[in-house]
Structure 1
Amino acid sequence: MEFNHADLFEGLADAIGERTAVVVFDSAGGTERRTYAELNDEADRLAHHLREAGVEPGGHVGIQLYNGVEYVTALLAALKIRAVPVNVNYRYVEAELAYLYADADLVALVYDAEFEDRVEAAAAGAPLLRHRIVVGGESTRAVPYAGALAERPAAGDFPERSGQDVYIIYTGGTTGMPKGVMWRCEDLFMAFGGGNPFGEPRRTPGEVIEAAKGSGPLVMMAAAPLMHGAAQMATFIGWWMGATIVYTRRFDAAEVLRAIEAEKVFTVNVTGDAMARPLTDAIAAGSYDLSSLGVLSSTGAILSGAVRERLRELLPNVMILDNFGSSESGFTASGVEGSSPESGMRYRPNTTRLRVLDDTLKEVEPGSGVIGQVAKSGPIAFGYWGDPAKTAKTFVEVEGVRWLLTGDIATVEADGTIMIFGRGSQCINTGGEKVFPEEVEAVLKRHPAVFDALVTGIPDERFGSRVAAVVQPYGEPPAAADLDAHCRGVLSGYKVPRAYAFVPEMRRSPAGKADYRWAKQVAQQAACLGEH
């Protein structure tokens, strides 16, 4: 028996159909709900429509939506007919959308009506895109979502599925164009908990269903946008546990806290400081009943020590988790006590298949101090859509074992914990010294006048590169001399930014991931203008 996401959800709909599967809060304060049975029926109807529209097994269906019932319905509908769902970043402008539509070979697209102009412009460069479904409005070139569901059967009658069916997560690179990470459904299921994130993976799909039937009333929340793989995986992990998943249509800290209060959420998943910091400010400024909350988990981006400490002050009874993983590897390790970019990012692997490999692809001996690259074997993605060169560079075979090279630079401590320095692609080489941006960013964010910071390298005639920081202040920008003094108290001189650019708002992905391409441009412009 194989693990397939659509099969598993249909099994849940039969077993716990009356239980609430999703709750969506909108900005007006209203909610929309679906039970497992209702969501399965809606996905069946949309799946039939997609099939009638010519979407075949293996066809790519883009989803360009804010969080909502329609998002998870479209996700399940594509999987039901063995099509491949493709997440589309709703912040992308026309040129970026045109690239993704064409790169992903989209044949169908489900999108929010407010994106109509951008969709229309970008679709002109996507010859395979022949069918569109619009949510929340009308279009002369798209079928309204309600119309796509009308008079379609809610019964299944779909092709037999397998654990080898493909699932693609497009991940917006911090330094390059987005890329489609390809997974086989069974590997994806196993890489994100195997239906049991707190213990051994489930051995059969039947075990998943039985465990969900026997679970108590658990309410979980994915605060990140569903267009980010972490939120999609958090949703499936919750469903495999028989939980109710809560979303807000778009991330707003106060709205997230209201949803936690109203729905008695037990676990909430966020993405690093970009979400956690606004939440701490909102908790401190407001009055919310968060007594139901037991776990706050961050995935996809790092929590700085300053933000984690503030969360612990404000939520003393809540477990704060910092998880390590990627769209290619799944969930692989958890932060140990005291881990932070400032003091050192230390993680304990949650799988025996996580290693650090040196430049010759040999395993680093624990306690040796040798620096290498984090690698994972076992259930991992199998490549990048349409990019065999990057696939060959990232997924390598060593003595018959296939490894994913994550790009994270690390060493192994004597006790087996992994000390991660940062992403190799972001490392700044200044006069031969290596500077990892995460460490400097975390130090800057400890300054009381700094809300957010990104650190990048800009050209320098003498040193090749010099460290520069893009800073979003809380109010008036602090003096550069103050930031210098603050950094020099805890950082070596070569790590201290030589240039500062102050911005009213930091540019990050909807999930909070850093946009280092943008940061480099802003820092270079500020340096050219002589700003500090």
Structure 2
Amino acid sequence: MAWNFGEILDALPRVVPPEAPAFIHGDRVVTWGETTRRSNNLARAMLARGARPGDKVAFYMRNRPEYGEALAACFKGRLTHVNVNYRYKPDEVFYIFDDSDAQTVIYGSEFRDTVLQLKDRLSKVVTFIEVGDEGDRPPFAESYESLATVGDGAPLGIERSSDDLLFIYTGGTTGMPKGVMWRHDDLREAQLDALRRLGPAPESLEAHLDSIRAVGPGSRTLPACPMMHGTGLITAIGCMMGGGCVVTLQSPSFDAGELWSVVARRKVQSIAIVGDAFAKPMLQALDANPGRFDTSSLVSMVSSGVMWSREVKAGLLRHIPQVALMDSFGASEALGFGSSAMTKDGEVRTASFQIGPRCKVFDEDENLVEPGSGKAGIIAIGGPIPLGYYRDPEKTAKTFRTIGGQRYSIPGDWCTVEADGAMTLLGRGSACINTAGEKVYPEEVEEALKTHAAIEDALVVGVPDDKWGQAVTGVVAVASGAAFDEDDVRRHVRASLAGYKTPKRILVTRVPLRASNGKADYKTVTDFARRDLGLA
């Protein structure tokens, strides 16, 4: 079976009642009947404005029903989704628009000022579509609501391909974000591969529809993390393909109290999070309000992207004993490295995963690491994987490598493997910092630090942190005669980079930042930062 998400969506009205909810956001409920009509209208409108199969559509908005509707429209119209991190500063947003060759930009009205600032530089963009507040919409932008509601909502009637693409932009370890290119068929197969570990999975469109007929539309799923990140996006796609309901939060920043209130009100069955950065405040809200929130509808919680500690899992299970806590180890470049499950009847160690069936662990010489040997290796996954990075053949060749005649995705994570297949994650072999699921490349922050008049040199490292997983930490050499003000330097960095890239702490070094050859000495600096912060 060759899969295409647009074909699945076109077939869903055969088995999903039109009155079934597709999206819930606050008091707003969008049914599947409405979603089908609106996404068909939007797809037809984008094509009428010059978009062609394969053209890129940049999504610059927070979690809301329009994200899912526009995603469906892209799938149906053979257009390529491009995620934009709404935390980025204007120049960073411009980079994504430009690097992806975006032909259409769909943006939330709250980001209107950034779009206005960039508009004259965006020579490749043909169509701007604004979502939300209609007041003061610029003349070059069209109303999303008008495009979604004008038309008869009929299917497009076009031939699609399993080679149609979806992009997931990730910071990775390259210093600048890169667009990971997923074929529809490969991404769908990777999703089904996870289902196959639990039991039979549908191997054809008709079998998929039969499974929905048998058990009803999919679950109500709440991506607590942003849909502009891989974890939230892939979770939402999986829910949509099953005819389920994607429930989203209204607050612009994560509010654990709001989450539990929505779970209770909307009878959410599954939640997607990014490790302890979400799970800790969720547990704190439950601890502070025992018995207040009805969590009886919850069946599962899924995390990916950052560490989810055993202690926090155990705390959540005290409040929600029926829930299964699923920890998935993967990346935008590779789904299915490993997984772990924890219930009230069984615990797992933090960072311990059962290695996936398509996974191999190689040493630096590309030899297989023997399970149980205690030797560290780099994780590789074969099977359905991305085509590579958009417009970056050099980085593609480094990450997507052929070993022994098999093509693998190797994003750079290291681990050890026990004799029973249990995998303990060690972290990225590069200097990339993973802070609450956001990837931060040190060089970018270092360059921002060094533009401050008081800073002569700087390195940036990640140190362990209970809340963020890793905390971005700057270690600087102060220019001769200059006064150092940590808060002032942090404000300086925040003025040019997204907030999550701003160091949580900036320390004045008492060790050399560089080796004799001039290269950054990250190991020495990391050890210094840990000692200085009392973590060693």
Q: Give the equivalent residue in structure 2 for 1:231.
A: 232
Shift of the 203–150 alpha-carbon distance from structure 1 to 2, 3 Å rule, reads closer
Counterpart Cα distance in 2 of 1:361 and 1:254: 48
Amino acid at match of 1:364: V
Cα displacement (A) at 1:422: 1.0
Task: Tell me if 1:96 matches 2:92.
Answer: yes
Counterpart Cα distance in 2 of 1:458 and 1:259: 38
The partner residue of 2:78 within 82, 92, 98 is: 82
Deviations 1:179-224 (A, max 9, x none): 1100110000011235946334421111111112222463222211
Q: Give the equivalent residue in structure 2 for 1:481.
A: none
Identity %: 32
Deviations 1:459-492 (A, max 9, x none): 699xxxxxxxxxxxxxxxxxxxxxxxxxxxxxxx
Counterpart Cα distance in 2 of 1:155 and 1:76: 14
Counterpart Cα distance in 2 of 1:298 and 1:362: 31
Counterpart Cα distance in 1 of 2:509 and 2:320: 39
Counterpart Cα distance in 2 of 1:353 and 1:99: 34
Q: Give the equivalent residue in structure 1 for 2:353.
A: 347
Amino acid at match of 1:249: Q
Q: Give the equivalent residue in structure 2 for 1:55.
A: 51
Counterpart Cα distance in 1 of 2:90 and 2:499: 21
Cα displacement (A) at 1:81: 1.4
Task: Tell me if 1:45 matches 2:41.
Answer: yes
Aligned Cα root-mean-square deviation (Å): 3.1
Amino acid at match of 2:58: G
Say which SS state the counterpart of residue 246 (structure 2) adopts.
Answer: strand
Counterpart Cα distance in 2 of 1:518 and 1:191: 34
Could you tell me the TM-score, scaled by structure 2's length?
0.79
Shift of the 53–238 alpha-carbon distance from structure 1 to 2, 3 Å rule, reads same
Deviations 1:82-112 (A, max 9, x none): 1101111111111111111111111111111
Say which SS state the counterpart of residue 185 (structure 2) adopts.
Answer: helix
Q: Give the equivalent residue in structure 2 for 1:523.
A: 506
> Residue 110 of structure 1 contacts residue 135 of structure 1 at CA under 8 Å; is this kept in 2?
yes
Amino acid at match of 1:177: M
Say which SS state the counterpart of residue 425 (structure 2) adopts.
Answer: strand
The partner residue of 2:363 within 346, 349, 358 is: 358
Amino acid at match of 2:273: V
Counterpart Cα distance in 2 of 1:44 and 1:245: 19
Counterpart Cα distance in 2 of 1:233 and 1:453: 22
In the alignment of these two chains, the number of paired residues is 461
Counterpart Cα distance in 2 of 1:321 and 1:452: 19
Say which SS state the counterpart of residue 169 (structure 2) adopts.
Answer: strand
Deviations 1:233-266 (A, max 9, x none): 1122223434222111343211111111011112
Deviations 1:155-190 (A, max 9, x none): 123421111111111123477221110011000001
The aligned runs of 1:126-137 (5 Å cut-off) are 126-136=122-132, 137=134
The partner residue of 1:375 within 374, 380, 396 is: 380
Cα displacement (A) at 1:457: 7.0
Q: Give the equivalent residue in structure 2 for 1:392.
A: 397
Say which SS state the counterpart of residue 91 (structure 1) adopts.
Answer: coil
Q: Give the equivalent residue in structure 1 for 2:12.
A: 12
Counterpart Cα distance in 1 of 2:324 and 2:307: 16
Deviations 1:99-150 (A, max 9, x none): 1111111111111111111012223332211210101122222001122234
Could you tell me the TM-score, scaled by structure 1's length?
0.80
> Residue 5 of structure 2 contacts residue 241 of structure 2 at CA under 8 Å; is this kept in 1?
no
- Which blocks of at least 5 consecutive residues in structure 1 are unaligned? 429-436, 446-450, 462-498, 508-512
Shift of the 32–427 alpha-carbon distance from structure 1 to 2, 3 Å rule, reads closer
Counterpart Cα distance in 2 of 1:132 and 1:406: 34
Cα displacement (A) at 1:321: 1.8
Counterpart Cα distance in 2 of 1:266 and 1:453: 26
Counterpart Cα distance in 2 of 1:336 and 1:359: 30
Q: Give the equivalent residue in structure 1 for 2:64.
A: 68
Counterpart Cα distance in 2 of 1:423 and 1:514: 22
The aligned runs of 1:268-287 (5 Å cut-off) are 268-286=271-289, 287=292
Q: Give the equivalent residue in structure 2 for 1:300.
A: 305
> Residue 454 of structure 1 contacts residue 519 of structure 1 at CA under 8 Å; is this kept in 2?
no
Counterpart Cα distance in 1 of 2:155 and 2:15: 16
Cα displacement (A) at 1:17: 3.4
Q: Give the equivalent residue in structure 1 for 2:518.
A: none
Say which SS state the counterpart of residue 179 (structure 2) adopts.
Answer: strand
Say which SS state the counterpart of residue 502 (structure 2) adopts.
Answer: helix
